[in-house]
Structures are given as structure tokens and as C-alpha cells.
Amino acid sequence: MSKRLAGLVALLCAGSAALTSLQAEEAAAKAKSRDQVVQLARLIDRHIQAGLKDRGVPAAPLASDAEFCRRLYLDLAGRIPRVSEVRDFLADKRADKRLLLVEKLLGSNSYIKHFANTWRFQLMGGTTNQQAQFLTPQLERWSHKHLKANTPYDVVVRELLTTPLAPNRGMAYDPNSTTARAFFQINENKPEMIAAATSRLFLGVKLECAQCHDHPFAHWTRKQFWEYAAFFGGIKVQNPEAAIFSPVTDNPHLREIQIGDSEKKVQAKFLDGSEPKWGNKTTRQTLADWVTSPENPFFARAVANRLWEHFFGIGLVDPVDDFREENPASHPELVEDLAKALVAAKFDLQLLIRAITASETYQRSSEQTHPLQDDLRSFARMPLKGLAPEQVFDSLATAVGYRGETTEMSRRFGVTSTRNEIQTRFANPVDRRTEFQTSILQALALMNGKFVADATSLDKSETLLAVIDSPFMDTRQKLDTLYLAALSRPMREKEASRLVPYVEAGGPSRDPKKALADVFWVLLNSSEFLLNH
């Protein structure tokens, strides 16, 4: 063998060995991460089980695979699973398939899109202001960027708090922006509104109640509100009449603010009463240091509670933005342990997502099997949750095979779209998703609306046509497919005993095809379709 060839062989062997070593390191890191997830999931279950034991409440059994699959898709992807996705999951015999499904969804574009919608809704506060709607694409692009990179939560919040506001043109509407400037615009660039929003979102404190007088139900004073607002005191609106789109100036080192309409001014101070150590940093940078600090008594607890609320529909502290002694957590020790886990994980939100979804608490059935399970804050069973407007449309689109317009063009230019019509109709003004209700207009939008009518039409429905025209399925299999499409589960025997004869007889029209369309219409209009359970 020549020296050159021998050298090449040695180089290839060395490269192979390095690759094997790298793969071994990656495998070890994944195993360690999974161990952390399982340990945290068990800790969650111990806290919940201890509470149930103290109350004498039995836990509901674990959800079926079909129920879990649908729930997880709605919570992580914002839509129900496709028929093929349900079938693949039900057929999977691996013992850890539920953990693997979580990994699959966390790596999907659907997860990024859904959580970007969630972040946008929280940052916008559910505003219906038409000017604010123009800023939606900015917030979603910014959220997409960080969710795709799995940016640590403290880094995300720091960027939002310290995002530069350039004089005169820095607040102009830019549809391609990936910065968080839109958050300040939505709050009209007013220090008091920004202060109220940031304390509520990132600290779990409803500080705005102390803006005009001392908080009536907590220890916060009016002075404390304005001391916190002083961190944003350098932001000045040049033309207040222009509201959201007014140019602003930003004095980054101003540390005081005038209290409302009074002549009195106060200096910036943290909510825990401590004095800032300014150094050479700007005022908002100093605030960001304190807000995102692992020692901050509010930050980690607030985000842990928000994530819990996302998956259960109700927080350990409820409402999620009302941490105070007079509003204790249902499981105080669990709140603290989740916060500690987040700090230890350097604010990797996906770790907590994995742990919550791996817990038996999350994986329990929503069916009430005992009268004492009625208290949702015992978490003896999974609470029923109403779908968000985006979930309603995306689930309908998934069920019927709809491939329509995207939302950004309609948002930017004000074009009314099928998506916007349905989302607007299903925008429920409720604080908790567990307090769902379907209005008459919402019911009519599904029963008589063009979208569902087309979706169950023999001429226009992609899903229905594929089922009806299949030469490989009998009536039972066709019905099962429609159930999987709409409800993510096969028919139950009791349902099959009624529906199979109904379809084969053709229903009132004596046409089996129209009878299948009738069944699909009923499924899409059912409460089971409109709830996450």
C-alpha cells in the first residue's frame, strides 16, 4: 500500500472514530435529557397525587391513545391530527410512543406556528384595535424566530424589554420586521401601559390596579406602580393623537417619571423594593437584568404557571397574572419546584413542556369518574378546554382537507378570508378556556356556513370524496375514517350499531353517499369536535 493511500485510510478511520464519538455524546445527552424530563414528570405527579390524597379524591384513569393523540396535537400543533397521523400513532407498539410523539411535534412547523399565535395573543392582550392588527405579522415573525431556535425564555424577554426604539422612524410599521418593537406600539408607547403589560406578562402581577390608587386587594401601592413605570419613562410619544403609529424618542438613561397628572416625580425601583445598580447600562437593560434574574421571586414562577395553564386550561395560580398572598396557588410547592426546574434548565421552555406532557396528570382522561373530581384545580382529571379561534379553523381545515388562503395577505391588506371569518366568529371573550360556551352565532356559522357546507358536499369535500369513492372500504371502515378525520378516534360499538345500518339504508334520501355526508356534517358540528378533552 502506498504512503498516500495509507494516509487516506488513516484519515478516514480517524474521521469515522470522531463521528462515532460524536454520536455517542449526542446519544448520552439525549438520554440525560430524557431522564430529567421523566424525573420532573414524576415530581409533578407526586405533588398532584399528594393533593388528591389529602382531599380524598380518586384520580381518573389514563386517557386512551386516541384521546391523548388528539389532545397533544391541539396543545402542541394547534390542530387535530390527520387520519394518517392518528392511525400511525394507534398502530405504534413502542412503549415510549407518547414521548416520541411529543418530540415529533416539538420539531414541527405546526408547533412553531401555534406557539407563535399563543405568544402573539398574550403580547397583544386580545386587543381588537384595528391599528394593532397591522402589527400582528411583526409579532409572529419575531416569535417564529425564537421558537424555531428554541431561544431560552429569559433571552427572549430581555430582547423584548431592551429592543431599541429609534427616534422618528423606529416605530414605523414594517411588515418584514422580526423585532419586538410592535409590543411597545400596541401599548401606545406609554410608560404606564408598558409597565402594566410587562408586570402582568412576565411577573404574574396585575400592577395596573395601583395606577391611580393603592391596590384594593393586594399590597401594591400607587408609588410602587410609578416607580416600576419609571423604567420606561424615557419613552416619549411625539404625537399622542396618532396613538400606535406615532413616532417616539427614547432617552435610554432617564430614570424618573411624573406620577400621572401630578407634579410629583419618582425614581425607578424594582417591585421587590430593591434599588437598581445602574453602572453603565441603560434603564431598560437594568430592568431586564432584574426581571430575568434566576433570583427574581416572580419571573420563573410566572412563566411556569403560564405553561401549566396552556396545557390544563387553568393555572396553578388562577388567574395566571394574579400572584399575591390573597390568591394562593392550588399546589404552592409544585409552583416552586417548576420554577426551580426552569432556572436549572436555563429557561428552556421545551424541557417543561416535555415534563408536563409526560406526566400522568396530563395524560389522564377528561371523563369524570367520581363526583369529587368536579374541582378542576385538583387536577384529578384533564379539564375540558374550549378551542381557540385558530384551533377551530385549523382543525376544520385538517378534517376536511381544506387548502385555502394564508392569513398574512388578508391581515396586511384587510381582505376578508374564510379563516378570518371563522376565527372572528369563535373569538370568545372569556378569561379561562375551561369556561367555554358556544353561542348561537357560532353554532349557526358551523351548521349553515358555507365552509362546512362545502366540506360536507358530495361535489366539493376532499375528505368525503376520498372516503366515498374508495373501493377498499366497507361501510364500517368509511364511517371509521370520517370519525378519525373529525374526532381522531374510531367509532364506538354503540355508535356503529346505529350508523352502519343508517348509511347502508341511505338515510332519509335513500342515498348511502348522502347519508355519509350527513354523518360527517353531524361530527363537525358536535361538541366533541369543538372541545379539547
**CA nearest 282: which of 235, 316, 246, 319?**
235
Q: State the average pLDDT over residues 449-453.
A: 68
Within 13 Å and on the Cβ side, how many CA atoms surround 425? 20
Q: What is the pLDDT of residue 250?
A: 86
Q: What is the pLDDT of residue 410?
A: 43
Q: What is the pLDDT of residues 176-200, one digit of tens each?
A: 566 778 888 888 889 999 999 999 9
Q: Which residues contact 293 (CB under 8 A, 6 or more apart)?
A: 299
Place of cell 436555563: 346
* pLDDT at residue 430 is higher than 60: no
Average pLDDT over the chain, rounded to an integer: 86
For residue 258, list its beta bridge partners. 265
Q: What is the pLDDT of residues 209-244, one digit of tens each?
A: 766 655 555 577 888 889 999 999 999 887 766 666
Q: State the average pLDDT over residues 266-284.
A: 92
159 and 347 in contact (C-beta within 8 Å)?
A: no
Q: What is the pLDDT of residues 95-133, one digit of tens each?
A: 999 999 999 999 999 999 999 999 988 888 766 666 667
Q: What is the pLDDT of residue 137?
A: 83
Can you list the domains of the chain with their CATH numbers? 129-291 (no CATH), 299-347 (no CATH), 389-532 (1.10.3130)
Q: Largest alpha-carbon pair distance within the chain? A: 91
Q: What is the pLDDT of residues 383-399, one digit of tens each?
A: 999 898 889 889 988 99
- Split at pLDDT 50, 70, 90, the class of 445 is low
Q: What is the pLDDT of residue 407?
A: 47
Q: State the average pLDDT over residues 40-62.
A: 97
249 and 257 in contact (C-beta within 8 Å)?
A: no
CA atoms of 41 and 399, how far apart (whole Å): 32
Q: What is the pLDDT of residue 168?
A: 44
* pLDDT at residue 364 is higher than 80: yes
- Dihedral class, residue 260 (left if φ above 0, else alpha if ψ from -120 to 50, else beta): left
Q: Percent of the chain beyond pLDDT 70?
A: 79
Q: State the average pLDDT over residues 345-355.
A: 97
pTM to 2 decimals?
0.89
Q: State the average pLDDT over residues 126-151.
A: 82
